[in-house]
Structure 1
C-alpha cells in the first residue's frame, strides 16, 4: 500500500504548476479543444495522467460563468483543488477505502466543489433557499465528536484522521455511549466538560457541512463521518422541535462576578426580589431598569433587548422568556451564569412566511463567509 506524503504532494503540485503557463494562454486564446494534442498531460499521479484537455474542460465548464469575481478560481487554484480530488481517489483505492460510504461522501464533496458555479443556477438556488427556510422552522439538538485535521493537511494525514474517527464510529454503532466517547476521545477542547453536547441550533448557526449532516441524520441516530474546516465529526441527533419564533423582552439584571461567593449571590437575589415586587405591583418597568439594572447597555433603553430566538440566547434566559404567554407578563427572578434577571415580555412573532424571509435567506447563503454552499 502506498501513501502519498506531503512532500510528494507538493512535488506533484510543482510539477503541474510548471505546465500551467501554457494552460493560461490556452484558456485565454481558444475554446477549441479539438485542435490540441489528445495525449498531452499536465501531471502524472502514480500511473494516472491528468490530461490538459480534461483539466481545461472542467475549468471552463465550472469556473467561467461565475458572476462574482471573488468566487472565481485562477487556473492554479483550481488545479490544486482538482489534484486534491485525484490524490484522494487514488489513495482510497490503494487502501481499499473507495467502497466505504463515508469516504465516498467526502469525495462527493470534492466533486461538488469542482462542479461550481451553482449560484448561477436559478432552480438550484431556489432549492437552497427553500432548504434554508425549512431549517429555520425546525431546531435540532445534537452532540458531536471531533478529530482535528486542517484543510491544508496532506492526503496521508487526512486518511490517518479519517481512519481514527471511523474506528470510533464502529465502537459507537456497536453500543458505546456517544457522549462518553466524546468526553474521552473528542479533540474539541470543550468536550471533556460538556461531553460534546451542543444544545439546540438551526440554519446558519453552524458551519454548513455540520449543519447539513445534522439535518440529514434521523433523530436518535449517529451520523456518517462529515468533514468541516475543523476536521472530521460524528454527530448524534437527540431531538427536533418546531422553532418557537422570536421574542422581544425588557430585562433587569443584578450581575454577579463568576467567582462571587454564595453570600454575595444571595444578597443580590434579595435585591432582585425587591425590584420584582415593585414591578409586579405596577411600578414602571422601564424606569426600574434604568435605575437598577446592571446591564447598562439595555438599561438606558428601559431594559429593552433585541429580538432573539431560543438558540441565540443563554438557555436559562430563553426558557424563562418563552414561558411568558402574553405581552406584558413578568417572569419570576431567574438565575443565569451572568446574574439574576427579571424579564418582561414585550412582543412575540412566529417564523415569518417564506416570501418575507426570501431576500434575507438569499443574502445569508451568498454572502456569509462562515457558510458553505447548500447542496
Structure 2
C-alpha cells in the first residue's frame, strides 16, 4: 500500500472536465495522504501551479481502507480542475458505480475539504465566505469528559470549566447487555447528576450501547436531570425504533456519526426521529455533503451539531460550516480527549493553535484564508513514516458475548 500517496503525479483521468478557466487552467497534480497519531488520516491536494489544500479523511479504526479509496480517487482526479468542487464530488460518488458508506464518503470528505481550502486560499478569503457568509460571531463548543469506562467525571467537568468550556459530553454507560440490571442504570443517572451539580451543561453519549429493551428505562432515568441531548441512545440501524423513543421522551435525541449522506439522514428526518443531526465532516462527504445535510435538517426544524472527536483539519472545516449555518447549535472538539496523548493532541500538528482558543464556552470564527489552519507539513510527514494502526477495543460480557463499544 502506498502509505502517503507516493507517485501522485499521474493517474487515470477519464471523466475529467474542461477547465473553468480560473488560474489559467490550473489542474490537480498530486494527492497524498498521511496516517498520523493518534488515529487521524490527513489528505493533501496540490495543483500543478503549486496551490495546496488540506483535508481530513479520518475514519477511526479504518485508515487503511480509506487510504485504498483515496488511491482509487487519485486515479479519477489527477488533471481535474480544482475549482470544480461539486463536479469532483459527484465524479467520486457516482462514477464508481457503488455508492455511499463510511469508507468511500470519508475519502471524498478529505478531498472535498482540501479543494474548498484551495479555492478559498486562491481567493484570499475564509472558507465560510464561499458558503454565504457568517450568521454568527462566535461558535459554541463542548469537550469530552470521561472515557469509555466513566469515572471521576465531576472533577473532569470542573477542569473543563477552568479551560473556558460551558458544556461537555460524557459517555453514559460502559458495556451494557440487552437486559442488564437496574444498578447500571442508576449509576448512569448518578454520574450525570454529579456533572450537572458542577454547573456545566452536559450531553450524554451512549455510543449505541443501549438496546431497545432498556432504552426507555435509561431515558426515563436521565430525563429529570435535563441533559443537552442523548446521543446514539440506540444504534441508527432502525429509524423506526429511534422514532418511537423520540415520541417517548423529552430529552433531545442526537444521532448521525454513523450516517454518511443526505440519503442516510432522510428517514430520520421524515419520521421525526431525531432533534439534533450530528454528521461528521470527516465521514460524511466533507463540507459539500454536510452543508446539504444541514439544509435538509433545517427544513425539518432539526438542529445541527457536527460530530468531531478527531483531528484539527476536520475541526477547522466544522467551524466554517458552523459559521454559515443557521440551525447550527454547538460543536464537538477533541482538545484533551482520552484518545489523544500529551505529544499528539489537537494542536500538535498545526502552527496556529490559537485558532482553537476557548473563551466563554466558544471559539472565534476563523478569519484566515481557506480553512484558516496552518498545517505543520514537516511534522505530518515525519509522523506518517510510522503510521498508526489504531483499533477500538473489543468488549465482551460475562458469558463471552460481544458487546457494543
TM-score range, shorter chain: under 0.3
How does the TM-score come out when normalised to structure 1? 0.25
> How does the TM-score come out when normalised to structure 2?
0.24
Computing the radius of gyration over CA atoms, which structure comes out larger, 1 or 2?
A: 1
